[in-house]
């Protein structure tokens, strides 16, 4: 409550010109303060009623990514973000055609989404090239610093942050596990997409294990995958692995079928391959990565800047073995390897 001194009342009544001017100024400031309060309340009301648009950029298919996207959306709902109420999604899937990613990223920019979630390295690259202002959250990146997505893990800088799956480092570990599982492992076929490497840790690991790598550039459609396995068989490999990328994940059912058809022991980068009948998987818990990415989205939509949010590396890992699949291709998994697994399917 405003208290006016008796002197001010006296001055006002006496008709003092100086006091009248002061009173006018006082009234003007009061009006301005009131307007600021009203405008602030209106802005907050508009923000509270806003539906934020989230772009999701993926190189695979909607069906192939459903399990991970659902984990992400469920975690967002636990944080209070309800689809249709305060958040909406714009999905763009490249259907295995990585060359389409720049075009799809540009579409999201034209839609003026508030934030873009990327599900792999090619997607993050396309989004980063498309915008330097719209926040980008990497739900799953292999080598964010090496790929140039962020300046450093602790201080990303720019408009990109998120999570790393340690794919480059884990490739070497997967080769070690495959070597322990397959007697006299000599040649390993490595499926990789065009322009996607992730092999800087794998190549020296192969030398140390005295295993020859046969790098097979692979198209992600049905014909391309079949061709890759035919090449692997021609090169007389006795084991298969692949780089960690979304198109391979989207085609996991077909890849597992081909590994069985050509009777090739394979180790995969996610447990979902084993869920489809695959032999083994060792890698980051991708459900956990996608759930954690929802927390980045939550913070950014509430005002945080990507540049100030450190990139997190995967902390949960899973090693799963399918003994039934091993028997189908005549492979006996050593007991000590079974004991190291988080889960054994019989």
Fold observed for domain 167-284+317-345: Rossmann fold (3.40.50)
Domain boundaries of the chain, sorted by first residue: 50-165+287-313, 167-284+317-345
pLDDT at position 304 is 98
Q: What is the pTM of this model?
A: 0.78
Q: What is the pLDDT of residue 260?
A: 96
Same fold, 50-165+287-313 and 167-284+317-345: yes
Q: Are 128 and 149 in contact (CB under 8 A)?
A: yes
Q: What does each C-alpha distance from 280 to 7, 151, 187 come to in angstroms? A: 88, 35, 18
Instruction: Say how many C-beta atoms besides its own lie within 10 A of residue 295's C-beta.
Output: 17
Taking the chain (346 residues) in runs of 10, the rounded mean pLDDT of each run is: 40 48 53 50 52 96 92 97 96 92 98 97 95 97 91 96 91 96 96 78 94 94 95 96 89 96 96 96 95 98 97 96 96 96 95
Q: What is the fold, at CATH topology level, of the domain defined by 50-165+287-313?
A: Rossmann fold (3.40.50)
Paired tokens of 46: 């508009």
**The pLDDT value given to residue 182:** 96
- The rounded distance, in Å, linking the Cα atoms of 81 and 74 is 9
pLDDT at 28: 54
> What pLDDT is recorded for position 81?
98
């Amino acid at each position: 409550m405003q208290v006016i001194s008796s002197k001010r009342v006296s001055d006002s009544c006496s008709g003092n010109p100086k006091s009248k001017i002061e009173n006018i100024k006082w009234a003007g400031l009061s009006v301005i303060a009131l307007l600021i309060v009203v405008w602030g309340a209106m802005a907050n009301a508009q923000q509270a009623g806003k539906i934020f648009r989230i772009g999701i950029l993926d190189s695979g298919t909607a069906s192939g990514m459903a399990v991970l996207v659902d984990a992400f959306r469920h975690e967002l709902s636990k944080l209070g973000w309800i689809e249709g109420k305060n958040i909406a999604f714009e999905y763009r899937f490249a259907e295995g055609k990585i060359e389409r990613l720049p075009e799809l990223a540009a579409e999201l920019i034209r839609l003026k989404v508030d934030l873009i979630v990327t599900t792999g390295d090619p997607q993050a690259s396309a989004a980063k090239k498309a915008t330097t202002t719209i926040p980008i959250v990497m739900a799953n990146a292999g080598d964010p610093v090496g790929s140039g997505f962020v300046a450093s893990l602790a201080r990303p800088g720019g408009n990109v942050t998120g999570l790393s799956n340690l794919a480059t480092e884990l490739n070497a570990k997967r080769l070690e596990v495959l070597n322990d599982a397959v007697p006299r492992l000599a040649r390993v076929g490595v499926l990789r997409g065009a322009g996607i490497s992730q092999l800087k840790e794998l190549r020296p690991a192969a030398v140390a294990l005295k295993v020859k790598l046969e790098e097979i550039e692979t198209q992600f459609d049905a014909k391309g995958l079949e061709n890759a396995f035919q090449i692997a068989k021609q090169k007389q490999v006795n084991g298969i692995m692949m780089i960690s990328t979304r198109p391979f994940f989207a085609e996991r059912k077909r890849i597992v079928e081909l590994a069985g058809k050509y009777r090739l022991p394979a180790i995969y980068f996610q447990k979902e391959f084993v869920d489809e009948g695959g032999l083994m998987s060792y890698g980051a818990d991708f459900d956990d990565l996608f759930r954690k990415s929802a927390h980045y989205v939550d913070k950014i939509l509430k005002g945080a800047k990507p540049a100030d949010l450190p990139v997190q590396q995967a902390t949960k890992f899973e090693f799963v073995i399918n003994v039934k699949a091993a028997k189908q291709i005549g492979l006996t998994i050593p007991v000590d390897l079974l004991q190291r697994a988080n889960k054994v399917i019989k």
